[in-house]
């Protein structure tokens, strides 16, 4: 089979449309269509059901997709092995992570990895509600819930804790609640419920369902900044608060414990730049365990 045809096949499968695949590959629509026709003729099967709204894989296409993805990873692995002759980890690794973890921890940590490997480029991207390693939207992903897809390699990075916080200035102005019921008399900083993309984010229900006034912010970092500014009381990640003297932990009996999981594609085990990043992340989370679980 012609690798150029297989590249077109992969792009269509991942983008869902011939036109989008053409833009991705820098080709014109006619070339993409012609190469797909040639591939289907060579394998003797229709690989996509083509509709105006997009192209979906047939059963034969799904089978070929598995094979071509393995081939793609093998090609990437061979390229890594060849680069390893110069003993240098290089290339680009995209890491997807929740915004709170990405901004309050990873952004400050990954610079050390780049310093160790000057040829390595790290792309840290926020985790959207729908995310696909299979479509190569990221090489590594850190998530809050273990995935149902058994094909992914999953490892538990760490547990982490969350607590109720308010700015010292806010408590001086509004008073400190002495129980959960007293939260009704305060402004409560919460997430946006219909934008919660993981079941592990259910801790926000305590404040969201309380009768107090609300300030809702979909971003974890936004909630942190709102609480620091004295807007109200919120549930914050303990590792994000750190030793901020302007924030006070209140109602210590109200606390939550959740987990971060690291995901990668199984074939990525042969790609040196990805395994280097994976090993670095696992090591740093082990070393910083007390930061994520300060009460343990």
Q: Name the strand (E) or helix (H) holding 49.
A: strand 48-51
Q: Give the number of other CB atoms < 10 A from CB of residue 263.
A: 22
Class of domain 3-83: mainly alpha
pLDDT digits 0-9 by tens, 28-83: 989 989 999 999 998 899 999 988 888 999 999 899 988 888 888 777 776 666 65
Q: Give the number of other CB atoms < 10 A from CB of residue 85.
A: 7
Output the pTM of the full model. 0.69
Mean pLDDT of 265-279: 87
pLDDT digits 0-9 by tens, 85-102: 545 788 999 999 999 999
Residues 6 or more apart whose Cβ sits within 8 Å of residue 126: 96, 97, 98, 99, 102
Instruction: Tell me the CATH number of domain 160-256, given options 3.60.20.10, 3.30.70.260, 3.10.20.30, 3.40.190.10.
Output: 3.40.190.10
Q: Do 262 and 142 form a contact (C-beta atoms < 8 A)?
A: yes
Mean pLDDT of 103-114: 94
pLDDT digits 0-9 by tens, 112-143: 999 999 899 999 998 765 555 656 678 999 99
In angstroms, the CA 191 to CA 225 distance is: 13
Angle (deg, nearest 10), helices 59-84 and 272-287: 80
Q: Name the strand (E) or helix (H) holding 238.
A: helix 238-241
Instruction: Tell me the CATH number of domain 87-158+260-292, given options 3.40.190.10, 3.40.50.1980, 3.60.150.10, 3.90.1150.10.
Output: 3.40.190.10
Q: Which of 19-28, 45-54, 225-234 has maximum average pLDDT?
A: 225-234
**Domain spans in the chain, listed from the N-terminal domain onward:** 3-83, 87-158+260-292, 160-256
For residue 272, the model assigns a pLDDT of: 86
For residue 239, the model assigns a pLDDT of: 95
> Is residue 171's pLDDT more than 60?
yes
In angstroms, the CA 97 to CA 145 distance is: 12
Are 3-83 and 87-158+260-292 in the same CATH fold? Answer: no
The torsion of the CA quartet 195, 198, 201, 202, rounded to 10 degrees, works out to: 90
Average pLDDT, the chain: 87
The full DSSP string for 101-161 is HIIIIIHHHHHHHHHH-TTEEEEEEE--SS--TTTTS-SEEEESS--S-TTSEEEEEEEEE
């Amino acid at each position: 089979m012609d690798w150029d045809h297989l590249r077109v096949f992969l792009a269509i499968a991942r983008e869902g449309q011939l036109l989008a695949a053409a833009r991705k590959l820098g080709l014109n629509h006619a070339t993409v269509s012609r190469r797909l026709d040639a591939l289907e003729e060579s394998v003797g099967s229709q690989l996509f059901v083509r509709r105006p709204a997009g192209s979906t894989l047939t059963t034969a296409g799904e089978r070929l997709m598995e094979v071509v993805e393995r081939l793609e990873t093998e090609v990437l692995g061979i390229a890594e092995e060849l680069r390893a002759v110069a003993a240098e980890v290089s290339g680009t690794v995209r890491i997807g992570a929740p915004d709170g973890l990405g901004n309050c921890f990873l952004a400050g940590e990954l610079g050390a990895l780049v310093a160790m490997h000057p040829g390595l480029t790290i792309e840290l991207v926020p985790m959207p509600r729908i995310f696909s390693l299979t479509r190569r939207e990221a090489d590594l992903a850190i998530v809050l819930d273990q995935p149902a897809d058994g094909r992914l390699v999953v490892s538990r990075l760490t547990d982490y804790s969350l607590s109720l916080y308010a700015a010292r200035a806010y408590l001086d102005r509004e008073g400190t609640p002495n129980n959960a019921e007293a939260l009704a008399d305060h402004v409560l900083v919460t997430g946006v419920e219909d934008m919660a993309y993981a079941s592990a984010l259910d801790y926000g229900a305590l404040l969201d369902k309380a009768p107090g006034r609300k300030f809702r912010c979909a971003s974890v970092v936004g909630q942190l900044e709102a609480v620091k500014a004295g807007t109200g009381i919120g549930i914050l990640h303990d590792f994000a608060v750190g030793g901020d003297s302007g924030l006070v932990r209140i109602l210590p009996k109200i606390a939550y414990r959740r987990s971060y999981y690291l995901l990668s594609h199984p074939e990525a085990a042969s790609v040196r730049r990805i395994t280097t990043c994976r090993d670095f992340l696992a090591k740093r989370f082990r070393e910083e365990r007390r930061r994520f679980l300060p009460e343990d």
